[in-house]
Amino acid sequence: MQNRLLSQLALIARWVLAGIAAGFVIWAFARVGARTVRDVLAGDTRTEITVMHWAGGGGQEEDRIVADLIADFEKKHPEIRVNRINPGDTNSYYNKLQTMFAAGKPPDVFYMGWERFPAFVSKELMLDLEPLIERDRGSSEALDLSAFYPITLDIFRFGPDGVGKGELYGIPKDFTTIGFYYNKSLFDQAGVPYPRDDWTWDDYIDACRKIGKLEGCWGSEFVSWPWIVRGYLLTEGVDICDDAFRSRATEPEVYGALQRFMDWRFDEDQTLTSGKSKVATGESVFLTGKVGMAGPFGRWVTPSYRKIEGFEWDFAPMPRGKARGNVIATVSWSIAKTSPHPEAAWELIKSLCSADGQARAARLGLAVPTIRAVAESDAFLDPTLPPANNRAFIDQVQYCNVMRWPTDSRFEQRLNNRLCEGALRVGEPPLKEAIAQMEAEWANDRESPLNRDDFPRVRWNLIIGVIATTLIIAGVIIAVMWRRRRPGRLAVSEELAGYALVSPWVIGFAIFMAFPIVLSLLLAFSKWSGLSTLDAARWVGLANLRELVFHDPKFWTSLRVTAWFAVFAVPGGQILALLAAMLLNNDVRFSGFFRSAWYLPSVVAGVGVAILWRWVFDGDFGLLNKVLLGPIMSLFHIKPPEWLDADADWFGPPAFAIMSFWSIGGVMVIYLAGLKGVPVDLYEAAAIDGATWSRRMRTITLPMLSPVIFFNFIMAIIASFQVFTQAYIMTGGGPGDTTRFYVIYLYNQAFEFHEMGYASAMAWLLMILILLLTLIVMRGSRRFVYYEALKA
């Protein structure tokens, strides 16, 4: 009777859990479709447009300004409803934007940064605004483009000659010129006059040297981002490339300016910050009050600098060299070419870029209004808020020209990896070698056979037909075989019940696993940008694989970096995990607590751990060098390595291997379970025979654990070739390519260069490589794995 009651309760519990699970599924779908249903029932016939933006340095205030502007627009246009999306930072924004374009459902209106504009507009993703502007011409609702700074509009023009000329594809919402923010208190202490608007590079470096002599202070932070470096060269009347994007880096004027920069940074003490530290650099270093100047930065740092209370500060434009030069960074509101409501989207852009909208944003201090009258008003030139020299941002516009970038975004990364992040930031490789590498890689990119435009389009209809026919034939064969071996009626009902229970997982696997796997296999033989729908993909056959193996040196570099990491991480992690498991295998008080403490780090969020270890491995201020290695190595007059900077070629992957030991807890638990399965009788017999600890380890523990060691070794090899999160957060693959692991390079191709076909080929090559390594290890395991241990 009691057993029957328990079985009934168990049955009721199962039905209750099944009902709860079904309820959650229904709720999830209902929530997604609720708004559409409400609109249908309410008879809502308003035009709906989607707008997407980010909230960078302005944070929640910038987000609130955009929300308020959209709310005002909806009041003025009750026939239009706006769906607003804010993914957060710029990286998340562009990843989401790319995904929406690939899905064929891009936002109607969206932010477009000037640095990404060439890549997007060249793929015909953005709407030409000229017809809409011409339609409004002469009406009271027209957007007066003559009120804008002309160069801010020219940056978003594109035509046969590239950026700067042609049709207009975006309305700039704001902009900034660049310069140096300076600490007035340190200038006073060093007896240096404040910078004038026409100061020179000699004035700049003289101030840096004098401030650098103050106790514990540095002269200036000088960032070496690609567009900043080009802006620096413009002050000498030169550029890193010509109009056809051929390198000019070896020309005497260009080379001399770059070498002067390196001399300032590496040959003088505390004149410039080292640039090697990623935890004490960039915009935040100015907040310490120990750096005389920081830049070249634009207006985007002003909101955070206005919170400084420890010292007074101001802004000075770029120093002049042989010429006066500056750079404009700007963001536009643009419309997707496939937007179903371009007229409504255009009305929204006119509202967002109006004088009122720009005035609201100007008070935040984040950027300069693109409408001249607003920029000249108190909304921007507010004398009560720092910097006092607000006008310098405006006055520098006359010295700016449109900075042109090629439509191939790889140019910027080649420039950044070799020259900016390598030679100019950490001093490695030497300048001449960095330039040679940059030029060779860019020449290889331009001459790649994948740059051809005559590849045929992928015949998706044919592929879908072949796959569908194959599945139908396979289904028919399975059905016939099942019918021939059809079991009895009771067994059939049990089978059907089993299929019904497993169907959610089968369907989920087919949709979320099998379909993407098959699609990626097809894309591995295609050229597809990921910024357009799949119908734009072109069939290239084995060209992706040939390019990877025979023409892409970064592919081999990423493999070398990953293999160097695996050499340390795989055996080191297994040895440490096994030793920890043996230590925790003893029955002592609080053993459960100690095991949990060892396991806990393996489940800590990867991003948080990466930030922690960035501080540990920092060459200048890191715990490892400053507290542990520095004092010991100084006794032998040896400098500790700069793990993730100048010495990253040799010490970068081992640093990440050391970092991976932080999370050996998961492997340790598996070893601990294996140790619990080793019969105690074996150890007792060995002890009676007088076997030492090392002999018991060699003859009992390792043989009995060999199946577990084999499993963990295979899993460690697989994991070692998938390093991404920590390396991406801490170094981004730099400096140069010294920490560009295979998966980071795959990510670069997919989401930065927008080469999804190439990235898919890399993914399948990685799978083949891991499969080969696994087979080799399995082949060798026959001599070393004692499978009888599994029966213990």
Q: In this predicted model, what pLDDT tens digit does every residue of 362-413 receive, in sequence order?
A: 988 889 999 999 999 999 999 999 999 999 999 999 999 999 999 888 899 8
- Are residues 752 and 618 both part of a single domain? yes
- Are residues 172 and 284 both part of a single domain? no
- Are residues 639 and 689 both part of a single domain? yes
Which amino acid does the sequence have at 301? Answer: V
Q: Which of 559, 567, 563, 556 is nearest to 742 (CA)?
A: 559
What's the pLDDT at 277?
Answer: 55
- Are residues 742 and 629 both part of a single domain? yes
In a domain, 196, yes or no: yes
Q: What six digits make up the tokens of 766?
A: 């990685």
Q: Which of 158, 327, 117, 316 is nearest to 240 (CA)?
A: 327
Q: What is the CATH number of the domain that holds 707?
A: 1.10.3720.10
| DSSP-based helix, strand, coil % in the chain, nearest 5 | 60, 10, 30
Q: Which of 198, 234, 177, 181 is nearest to 370 (CA)?
A: 177
In a domain, 455, yes or no: no
Give whole-number Cα distances, 503 to 488, 499, 633, in Å. Answer: 22, 6, 62
For residue 296, give the 3-state DSSP assignment.
Answer: strand
Q: Residue 629 is part of which domain span?
A: 547-791
**Alpha-carbon span 407 to 630, nearest angstrom:** 46
Q: What is the CATH number of the domain that holds 359?
A: 3.40.190.10
**Alpha-carbon span 744 to 781, nearest angstrom:** 31
Give whole-number Cα distances, 76 to 30, 80, 327, 330, in Å. Answer: 32, 9, 37, 28
- Are residues 702 and 629 both part of a single domain? yes
Q: In this predicted model, what pLDDT tens digit does every residue of 465-497 receive, in sequence order?
A: 999 999 999 989 988 887 777 766 677 778 778
Per-residue exposure over 9-18, b if at least 16 CB sit within 10 Å of its own CB, e if not:
eeeeeeeeee
For residue 159, give the 3-state DSSP assignment.
Answer: strand
Q: What six digits make up the tokens of 32?
A: 């997604």
Q: Which of 523, 539, 555 is the last residue of a domain?
A: 539
Q: What six digits make up the tokens of 746?
A: 């795959």
In a domain, 452, yes or no: no
**Alpha-carbon span 333 to 345, nearest angstrom:** 10
Write down the H helix ranges in 487-618: 489-509, 515-523, 543-546, 553-584, 591-599, 606-617
- Are residues 40 and 56 both part of a single domain? no
pTM score: 0.85
Answer whether 410's CB lies under 8 Å from 438's CB.
no
- Are residues 502 and 528 both part of a single domain? yes
Residue 677 has pLDDT above 80, yes or no: yes
Please state whether beta strands 109-113 and 47-52 pair in parallel, antiparallel, or not at all (unpaired).
parallel
Q: Report residue 329: phi and psi, to 5°.
A: -110, 130
Q: In this predicted model, what pLDDT tens digit does every residue of 625-650 receive, in sequence order?
A: 888 787 888 888 888 888 888 888 89
In a domain, 157, yes or no: yes
Answer whether 385's CB lies under 8 Å from 365's CB.
yes
Per-residue exposure over 291-315, b if at least 16 CB sit within 10 Å of its own CB, e if not:
bbbbbbbbbbbbbebeeeeeeebbb
**Alpha-carbon span 270 to 272, nearest angstrom:** 5
In a domain, 454, yes or no: no
The predicted model gives 583-609 an average pLDDT of 81
- Are residues 690 and 779 both part of a single domain? yes
Residue 145 has pLDDT above 90, yes or no: yes
- Are residues 54 and 79 both part of a single domain? yes
- Are residues 553 and 687 both part of a single domain? yes
In a domain, 453, yes or no: no
Q: Which of 452, 200, 179 is nearest to 296 (CA)?
A: 179
Which amino acid does the sequence have at 235? Answer: T
Task: Band the pLDDT of 43: cuts 50, 70, 90.
Answer: low
Domains contained in the chain, number: 5
What's the pLDDT at 299?
Answer: 94
- Are residues 265 and 365 both part of a single domain? no
- Are residues 69 and 217 both part of a single domain? no
Cα–Cα–Cα angle for 725, 89, 617, rounded to 5 degrees = 40
